[in-house]
């Protein structure tokens, strides 16, 4: 048994303490009887070193961007510079309360206002709301704006939204939550939205189309200008899922491609820590004619240079979060944008694109590449070329490759997404990894392919070296045991 296999409760020894608190100056009788404990809380009795080891070991049983390479496609797990943390932790920001009078939070409002301007300049949109707290929340907000726009014009028949078959799952889900009907448009053999398949879907019932560019295969939708013209001609709007904005930073703007509404994932593209469902921020930007439908509250700058929170607007799509979004995430992303500046921001996208293409080209001799093309920041393989089934054993799957990578100290790529390919393995290296790290990853992926071809059972049993190997993932997610019994 390893040290960390024991729970901290199992290390408990009666009377052992980690720290002696000073005598309390507050007599027990001064606490109302109803609030006093009837019995001691039942905490483990351990020394300071036990506590330190307990938490340090727990932290090492997880995997994060700070512990290793994390090529989780579609999630943009780039390094989070520590300066962002320092700025978000500044007492003047950290101590803010959302109900403070606006005269006392002018600095925070200025950040909000300047961030709106920075994002508008990066994307070619007119204005942003920073209120949504995730990408999917941004999608819902954007679709509410789309719906408000059509309703405001009395165009009530527009109840359908077109979503490509390669879309991220949150796109149709957000549309459904917004009460819109989803119409799927097929991708062609080249992995791009098929313009000929799109044309017959366009009509007076279409509210708009949701697209991400590059799409979830990492491919740039080169027909976007034609698609924008067709959708606008039919009276619809274009929604841009900006979760894949990373490779376009400083190079191409969704506004210039013809998009009317978009969201960004600050927690991806702008390097704020995320994972396990949060924390996030999904600002939504709109073209000029849609600004009046943005959610409230919004921040405006008055003539005297001060900042004011606009809380009411008749045409607004409404309020989408309790206050004004996830301010800590906004601060981190703002610090990141200022740090790179206009001059350097384009290096992020260029390097991310170069890294993805480098890995793709180096590994396509061992993994099936379904679409031969220059990719943007990510790409998708469709499983192993030789899965080892010729050995008479069951062949190694994408799940097996992902699990085996953990033994080599890498986080697994995204698997079985997008749904277009049966054995999808989606790799996104980001711009923050060195060539040496990419080379090591390539070497390991080749080694895993060799293992699969010679003895796929090595992969079937993986991971062999992690504290837990393969839990039943449904039980682990639905019925986790989180306390000592």
Ligand X SMILES: Cc1ncc(COP(=O)(O)O)c(C=O)c1O
Contact track, ligand X, 243-282, x by CB under 6 A: xx--------------------x--------------x-x
C-beta separation of 401 from 453 below 8 A? no
Q: Work out whether 400 is an interface residue with ligand X (CB under 6 A).
A: no
Shortest distance, position 166 Cβ to ligand X, whole Å: 10
Considering the complex, state which of residue 142 and residue 463 has its C-beta at the smaller distance from ligand X: 142
- In order, the DSSP letters of 116-165 are HHHHHHHHT-SEEE----SHHHHHHHHHHHHHHHHHHTT-TT--EEEEET
Q: In terms of CB distance, is 80 or 244 closer to ligand X?
A: 244
Kindly state the smallest distance separating residue 118's Cβ from ligand X, in Å. Answer: 20
Cross-strand partners of 183 = 162
Segment contacting ligand X by CB under 6 A, of 28-36, 238-246, 335-343, 436-444: 238-246
Alpha-carbon torsion angle 319, 321, 322, 323, nearest 10: -90
Tell me if 212 contacts ligand X by CB under 6 A: yes
Nearer to ligand X, 109 or 243 (CB): 243
**433 is a contact residue toward ligand X (CB under 6 A):** no
Binding string, 35-74, against ligand X, x = CB under 6 A? ---------------------------------------x
* Distance of alpha carbon 127 from alpha carbon 291, whole angstroms: 7
Complex with ligand X: residue 202 or 331, whichever CB lies closer: 331
In the complex with ligand X, which residue's Cβ is closer, 191 or 456?
Answer: 191
Site for ligand X in 172-201 (CB under 6 A): none
The tally of CA atoms less than 13 A away on the side-chain side of residue 270 is 30
What's the closest the beta carbon of residue 216 comes to ligand X, in angstroms? 6
Smallest gap from residue 272 Cβ to ligand X (A): 11
Q: Which residues of 26-54 are buried (b: 16+ CB within 10 A; e: fewer)?
A: eeeeeeeeeeeeeeeeeebebeeebeebb
The encoded tokens of residue 165 equal 């078959």
Phi and psi at residue 426, in whole multiples of 5°? -110, 120
Contact pick of 54, 78, 150, 168 for ligand X (by CB under 6 A)? 168
Report the nearest approach of ligand X to the CB of residue 190 (Å).
Answer: 19
- Residue closer to ligand X by CB (options 307, 421) is 421
By rule CB under 6 A, what count of residues binds ligand X? 15
Stretch that binds ligand X, among 131-139, 184-192, 247-255, 440-448 (CB under 6 A): 131-139
SS3 state at 289: helix
User: Closest distance between ligand X and the C-beta of residue 139, in Å?
Assistant: 7
The least CB distance from residue 325 to ligand X, in Å, is: 13
User: For 357, left (φ over 0), alpha (ψ -120 to 50), or beta?
Assistant: alpha
- Both tokens of residue 148? 């408000």
Q: Is 241 in the site for ligand X (CB under 6 A)?
A: yes
Alpha helices in 155-202 (DSSP H): 170-177, 195-198
Task: Find the binding residues for ligand X in span 134-163 (CB under 6 A).
Answer: 134-136
If the CB atoms of residues 50 and 431 are measured against ligand X, the closer one turns out to be: 431
- Contact range with ligand X by CB under 6 A, out of 32-40, 119-127, 196-204, 241-249: 241-249
What lies within 8 Å, CB to CB, of 85 at 6+ separation is 332
Whose structure tokens read 């991971």? 463
Q: What are the tokens at 110? A: 């200025």
Q: Are 454 and 391 in contact (CB under 8 A)?
A: yes
- Residues shown for the chain: 485
Phi, psi dihedral angles at 407 (to 5 degrees): -65, -30
* Those residues with Cβ within 8 angstroms of residue 190's Cβ, 6 or more apart along the chain or in another chain: 219, 371, 373
DSSP-derived 3-state class of residue 228: helix
SS3 category, 324: coil
Contact set for ligand X, span 74-93 (CB under 6 A): 74-75
Kindly state the smallest distance separating residue 241's Cβ from ligand X, in Å: 5
Residues 261/290, Cβ–Cβ less than 8 Å: yes
Nearest residue to ligand X, by Cβ distance, number only: 135
Q: Of 209 and 366, which has the nearer Cβ to ligand X?
A: 209
CB-nearer residue toward ligand X: 84 or 170: 170
Least distance CB 312 / ligand X (angstroms) = 28
CB of residue 263 to ligand X, shortest distance in Å: 8
The single residue among 80, 129, 170, 187 that binds ligand X, judged by CB under 6 A, is: 170
**Which stretch, 21-29, 128-136, 294-302, 397-405, contacts ligand X (CB under 6 A)?**
128-136
Indicate if the alpha-carbon torsion angle 196, 200, 204, 208 is positive or negative: negative
Q: How far is the CB of 171 from ligand X (least distance, A)?
A: 7
CB of 144 to ligand X, least distance (A): 16
Residue 242 or 456: the one with the smaller Cβ distance to ligand X is 242
**Contact between residue 237 and residue 215 where contact means Cβ atoms under 8 Å apart:** no
Task: Note the Cα 296 to chain centre separation in Å.
Answer: 24
Residue closer to ligand X, measured from CB, 141 or 170: 170
Task: By CB under 6 A, name the binding residues for ligand X.
Answer: 74-75, 134-136, 168, 170, 212, 216, 241, 243-244, 265, 280, 282
């Amino acid at each position: 048994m390893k040290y960390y296999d024991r729970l901290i409760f199992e290390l408990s020894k009666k009377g052992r303490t980690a720290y002696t608190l000073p005598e309390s100056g507050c007599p027990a009788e001064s606490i109302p009887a109803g609030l006093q404990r009837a019995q001691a809380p039942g905490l483990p009795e351990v020394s300071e070193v036990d506590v330190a080891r307990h938490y340090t070991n727990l932290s090492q049983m997880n995997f994060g961007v700070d512990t290793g390479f994390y090529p989780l496609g579609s999630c943009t797990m780039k390094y989070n510079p520590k300066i962002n943390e320092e700025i978000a932790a500044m007492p003047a920001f950290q101590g803010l309360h959302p109900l403070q009078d606006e005269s006392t939070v002018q600095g925070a409002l200025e950040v909000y206002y300047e961030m709106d301007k920075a994002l508008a300049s990066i994307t070619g949109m007119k204005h942003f709301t920073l209120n949504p707290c995730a990408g999917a929340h941004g999608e819902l907000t954007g679709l509410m704006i789309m719906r408000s726009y059509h309703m405001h014009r009395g165009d009530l028949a527009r109840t359908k939204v077109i979503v490509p078959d390669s879309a991220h799952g949150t796109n149709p889900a957000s549309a459904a939550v917004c009460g819109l009907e989803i119409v799927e448009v097929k991708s062609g053999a080249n992995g791009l939205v098929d313009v000929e398949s799109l044309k017959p879907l366009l009509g007076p019932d279409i509210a708009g189309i949701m697209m991400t560019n590059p799409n979830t295969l990492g491919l740039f939708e080169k027909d976007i200008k034609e698609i924008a013209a067709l959708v606008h001609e039919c009276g619809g709007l274009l929604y841009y899922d900006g979760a894949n904005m990373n490779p376009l930073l400083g190079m191409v703007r969704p506004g210039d491609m013809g998009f009317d509404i978009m969201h960004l994932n600050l927690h991806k593209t702008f390097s704020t820590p995320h994972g396990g469902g949060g924390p996030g921020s999904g600002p939504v930007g709109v073209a000029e004619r849609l600004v009046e439908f943005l959610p409230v509250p919004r921040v405006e700058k008055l003539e005297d240079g001060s900042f004011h929170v606009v809380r009411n607007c008749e045409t607004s799509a409404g309020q989408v979060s309790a206050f004004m979004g996830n301010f800590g995430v906004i601060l981190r992303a703002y610090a990141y944008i200022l740090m790179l500046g206009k001059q350097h921001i384009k290096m992020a996208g260029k390097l991310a694109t170069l890294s993805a293409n480098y890995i793709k080209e180096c590994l396509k001799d061992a993994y099936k590449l379904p679409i031969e093309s220059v990719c943007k920041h990510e790409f998708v393989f469709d499983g192993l070329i030789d899965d080892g089934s010729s050995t008479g054993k069951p062949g190694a799957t994408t799940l097996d490759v992902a699990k085996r990578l953990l033994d080599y100290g890498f986080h697994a790529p995204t698997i079985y997404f997008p749904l277009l390919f049966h054995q999808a393995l989606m790799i996104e290296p980001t711009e923050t990894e060195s060539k040496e790290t990419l080379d090591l990853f390539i070497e390991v992926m080749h080694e895993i392919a060799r293992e699969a071809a010679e003895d796929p059972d090595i992969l079937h049993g993986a991971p062999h070296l992690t504290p837990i190997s393969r839990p039943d993932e449904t039980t682990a997610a639905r019925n986790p045991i989180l306390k000592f019994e």
